[in-house]
Amino acid sequence: MRRAYKYAVLTAMIVSTLALALAASAGGLGYALPFPAVRNLAYWYLRTTYNPFMPKFTASAPEAVTAIVWDYRGLDTLFETSVFFLAIIASMALMRGIEVRAPESINLSKYGMSAIVKTVTRITVAIILAASASIALHGQLTPGGGFQGGATAAVAPLVIIVIFSLYFAVGSGIKKKSMLTLRTLGLLGIGVTSFAVIVAGLILGKAAYVFQNQPKEAAPIGLPSHILGVPMGGTLLLFNIFEFLAVAAGFTIVFLLLSVPEESVRKVLEGGEGHD
Amino acid sequence: MISPETLVFGVLAALGLISMVATFMAVLERDLLKAVLFSAVQSTAYAFMFYILMAPDILLVYVPVAVGLYPAVILFLIKKTERFEGGEEE
């Protein structure tokens, strides 16, 4: 009876989804495209994102999405990054007092999965890290960017923790403190980059804006748009690198804290304030 | 003869249906481990849809988060709590 009810609900959902899709594709929702006034904004972004003939307006990055995320709408992304950082800080505050460390005199080969899985993982971790670095460092040229690369890179320590055990990860340098240092370094870098042009302007005696990338009308100063003939997007490359560090290290901290065995930290979790 | 446009929309519709069914199964499944797998099937269908809709930036962040990081968090939580959802009998 219950099973029949389940399948009846599922069939009804499939039928209604198909009916909605058919109605929408037959023009049941009115205009399929946004109004032309909305599309002007998209035209403007696409025309100026990499346009050497409009040097006062271009972001000098062929990748429009990265240009919008870190140049046209840079402050939005800055606050998104701070929200993410606050979430990491909150989870670390919840698990304060927990030390992620391997016990003394431990035989690492007894932990984790079989030798076959470990060997395959050694290869895939290298591939994951290379792919994530290419996603982040080519962020101003091809689809991708700091957050995408950082999220991809965070899969590598996760795989190491699951396949090799937490103690191997801690022993090979994936520690809470070093990850927090990387994370802070990334955020500091983002902060410094957003003020880089204004500081340069102060030194050179020219007007500049916070979060400025390329020279603008009243602020004729900016970071180099090309290095060795390759479009670097000025601040976009730096933002991508630092965001990559911050995101990858932030996710890794959460996984380190989540994978600590419950027994070893029960005392800390039950001990009220959690100090000592 | 089917036009390429119709083919693309057909693939999109099929992926949408797969994701809908997978979500339905994930919600109803008592075994939380299987529910995570159904959720991953839904994420995979969405990833292909993002690719077809020409949003590679979203795809690149969606694949590691929805197929790697998110199931991992849920699996850690299942390991720390219970694998089977309690409640009334069938």
Output b/e per residue, A256-275; b: 16+ Cβ within 10 A: bbbbbeeeebeebeeeeebe
* Mutation to test the A interface, candidates B7, B11, B15, B57, most A Cβ within 10 Å: B57
Residue A143 Cα distances to A46, A48, A65, A147, B57, angstroms: 14, 17, 8, 12, 5
Task: Provide the residue ranges of all domains of chain B, joining segments of one domain with +.
Answer: 4-80
Spatial distance between the Cα atoms of A121 and B49, rounded to a whole number of angstroms: 29
ipTM metric: 0.81
* Mutation to test the A interface, candidates B36, B58, B60, B67, most A Cβ within 10 Å: B60
Q: CB distance B20–A21 less than 8 Å?
A: no
List the pLDDT tens digit at each of the 276 positions of chain A.
688 888 899 999 999 988 888 887 777 776 566 677 777 888 888 888 888 888 788 888 888 888 888 888 888 888 888 898 899 889 888 887 777 777 777 777 777 788 899 899 999 999 999 999 999 988 888 888 888 999 999 999 999 998 888 888 888 888 888 888 999 999 999 989 888 888 888 888 888 888 888 877 777 777 777 778 777 778 888 899 999 999 999 999 988 888 887 777 777 767 655 454
pLDDT at A145: 86
* pLDDT tens-digit map of B47-87: 999 999 888 888 998 988 888 889 988 988 888 888 887 75
Please check the confidence at residue B13 and state whether its pLDDT lies above 90. Answer: no
Q: CB distance B20–A14 less than 8 Å?
A: yes
Residue numbers in A near B13 (CB within 8 A): 18, 21
Spatial distance between the Cα atoms of A194 and B65, rounded to a whole number of angstroms: 27
pLDDT at B80: 82
Task: Provide the residue ranges of all domains of chain A, joining segments of one domain with +.
Answer: 47-270
Q: What percent of chain B is modeled with pLDDT above 90?
A: 33
Spatial distance between the Cα atoms of A199 and A210, rounded to a whole number of angstroms: 9
Q: B2 pLDDT band (50/70/90 cuts)?
A: confident
